[in-house]
Amino acid sequence: MRTHRSFLSVVTALSLLNIINITQPITANNGKYLPVNNTPTKTTASVPHGFEDTLIASIPSPTDLAFTPDGRMLVTSQPGYLYVIPKTDGRQASPMLALNLSKVVCNNIETGLDGLAIDPDFGNNDYIYVYYTYQTSPEECPYIAPTYNRVSRFTLPPDNNIDLQSELILVDQLPTPRGSHNGSGMRFGQDGKLYIGVGDGSTLAGYAQSLAMLNGKILRINSDGSTPTDNPYVKELNAQPCAKIDTSKIVEERVCQEIWARGLRNPFRFTFGLDDAHNEVMYINDVGWRTWEEINIGKAGGDYGWPVREGVCPTDTFGDDCKPLDPTTSVNLTDPIYSYQHNNTEHCSAITGGAVVPHGIWPESFDSAYLYGDFACGTLFQVKKIGDAYIKTTVATEMSPIISMVFAPYSNTQALYYTTYGPYDALFGSVSGGAGVRRMVYLGDMNVPPTAIATTEQNYSANAPATINFSAVRSRDPNSTPLRYEWDFGDASNVITVTTPIIQHTYQKEGVYVAKLTVYDTLNTPSKPYPLKVYIGNTPPKINMIQPAADTTFRVGQQIVLEAEATDDDDGILPGSSLVWEAFLHHIDVIDANFAHKHPLLAPSKGNSVSFTAPKQEDIFAGYSRLEIRLTATDSQGLSTVHTQILQPRRSQITLLSNPPGLKIYANNAELKTPITLETWEGYTIHLNAPQTQKGATSKVAFISWDSGDEREHNIIAAGSNITVTATYACAKGDCDIFLPGIFVR
């Protein structure tokens, strides 16, 4: 995924292997309780009539999934875990941990164990393939230094215990300079070759176009890591294998033989499927920057245009501003089959997983349709070719953020399986039923059981008797029939059946009770019971935040120490194991308000005190971003309090001027027109580049000097005070005859 829209939060790495219902109040900086709604806002997606969507496995921070020929489902988890869910009598069993790479995986921002593929000859060799960010040293995992991705092959035996010594590294040292835009999509084609999506590393520096680098590409290799002899650049002059070298050290005359296609920003997910003529088609979902998301058809030697353009538009242009590129620039570019613009209506701005619907398993209108999910708006779409155009329709809404999807066997048909990242939310628990794997299956006119969802205004009381307000308004019937509601309050009182979704119940004695809601449709078909814990005679823990203070600010690279203690009326002082810390980077874009999202920064960590390194702002336009600290304290009965705190960076402004005004200056590879003032974090490094010559208002001008006396290209570091720098140009004799325009437009 991209630096702007990636995983929204991280859940505890090993504790969420069952469907969870978290009931906890939340405290803000002032220490007062906010209104509590202790259940997910939505536990099922809004799917079409005749479809059923179900959470089948709860797995923390899931990223990718795949199925072995014998029916085992494999799921990767961002912190470095690979789970196997065996198939037993047609039903999925509980997840088991098959591979633990957590000690060697970097998993902050978008890094982690993110990609997975199964060898087409798995039945004979037991090979699986994973894409992960590895930890070269403790200093390289925090979001302050470059890290690297790799692709490795492991052997998965029948007992599902993977030997770490079976690892064979196939592709190594894939640069991810800012911890994002990693790519990680992997699939085998019908040709038996492994295709790998590699992101541009969150840079506009031209990585995606350079044949000397593996970033911003689709790679194609053999299952042993060697290069297929029919790759498009194998026979180019100076072609060489690049799979084991750090290609961030650019050697311009080098051509990497593994490259199959280029010009991609973040091909996070792609897939193969059959069209109506049963020909194999490769669909590439390329995550966009500020304006466009796009779907491309993969082809050998294809160039999809990044960073010169997004969709078919010059980079960073909207609607009417989308002017055709210079023909000399775009003549060899491959257009997407479909692209969509970010907007304030759907809030869709991050294309993720995709899959082609197999013939005959869903209604005919879906045959050979391409499905894609958007992480930001929680929606599943269909794109299908009608005549010469690709038409988009909405399939399902109110979904948990989709990461990856695949069609696989279910009963006597196939179903769509997809991973959802949650997100884990301190107030609502796990939205849409929890992080994990969901299954969408078409049941036709078959009566589908309803779904029960119970909520409470507050699920605890300090004393008994206590009246608790319950609601079942979020329960639903896929067949759209009226429901009746059966309540078992868990305290030996009579089970009550009502036809309205709101009800009260008074608990007479102290204790921890599990209320259960079951709903019935008009055919008397019951739902699965929905449990909801109620704590009578208990209050949530109290948190004393020691550091950071509420007004604490930070600079890039600073070590931030988190320290707190928690007490409970019944348990006294809670041990450090009852405290769980998380940290998130909230990305707030200076130019586009649609870019409001967050990234996990600190994975859930237990203890009274933990620490992490403050990141740099994600890009030159992210100066308004900030950090969020979240601490969850849980008592011995399971009742929790969440304290959240915002940490602001120390900011300063850097103003770029030119003489004459209105000229271009490049800052961290983004083209800016002077005069412009940038909001920056203290400690953030900006690489300034004044073009040697450029077109002024009336003539071509040549660079003379910076007022600081620095080189034409140099770095400045944002300090605690505002900075103004000026580049002076003049039309000197001879200089004006040379015009070298900037390579890329922001």
pLDDT interval class at 302 (50, 70, 90): very high
Q: Which of 331, 329, 339, 260 is nearest to 296 (CA)?
A: 339
pLDDT digits (tens, 9 = 90+) for 562-598: 999 999 999 999 999 999 998 988 877 676 555 556 6
The yes-or-no verdict on residue 156 having pLDDT over 60 is yes
Q: Is residue 744 scored above 50 in pLDDT? A: no
Q: How confident is the model over 460-471, as pLDDT tens digits?
A: 999 999 999 999
Handedness of CA 332, 353, 146, 259 (dihedral sign): negative
DSSP secondary structure string for all residues of 123-182: HHH-EEEEEEEE-SSGGGSSTTS-EEEEEEEEE--TT----GGG-EEEEEEEEETTS---
In the predicted model, is pLDDT for residue 5 greater than 50? Answer: no
Confidence (pTM): 0.73
Q: How confident is the model at residue 325 (pLDDT cuts 50, 70, 90)?
A: confident
- Does residue 51 carry a pLDDT above 60? yes
At 391-446, the pLDDT tens digits run 999 999 888 888 999 999 998 899 999 998 754 333 233 334 467 899 999 988 88
Residue 333 has pLDDT above 50, yes or no: yes
- The DSSP line for 240-306 is E--TTS-TTS--TT-EETTEEEB--S---EEEEEE-TT--EEEEEEE--SSSEEEEEE--TT-B--T
The sheet carrying 379-386 orders its strands as 351-356, 370-374, 379-386, 389-396
Strand partners, 532: 515
Residue 108 has pLDDT above 60, yes or no: yes
Average pLDDT, the chain: 85
Residue 88 pLDDT exceeds 90? no
Strand-pair partners of 391: 384
| Residue of higher predicted confidence among 316 and 656 | 656
The predicted-structure confidence for 234-284, as pLDDT tens digits, reads as follows 999 999 999 999 887 767 789 999 999 999 999 999 999 998 888 999 999
**Most confidently modeled range among 400-404, 713-717, 738-742:** 713-717
Q: In the prediction, which pLDDT does 38 show? A: 31
Kindly tell me if the per-residue pLDDT of 10 is higher than 50.
no
513-568: pLDDT as tens digits? 999 999 999 999 999 999 999 999 999 999 999 999 999 999 998 999 999 999 99
What DSSP string runs through 498-515?
ESSSEEEEEE-S-EEEEE
- The yes-or-no verdict on residue 345 having pLDDT over 80 is no
CA distances from 11 to 21, 215, 401, 637 (A): 13, 29, 14, 20
pLDDT attached to residue 28 = 28
Query: Is the confidence at residue 42, as pLDDT, over 70?
Result: no
Q: Rounded CA gap, 396 and 46, in Å?
A: 6
Q: How confident is the model at residue 17 (pLDDT cuts 50, 70, 90)?
A: very low
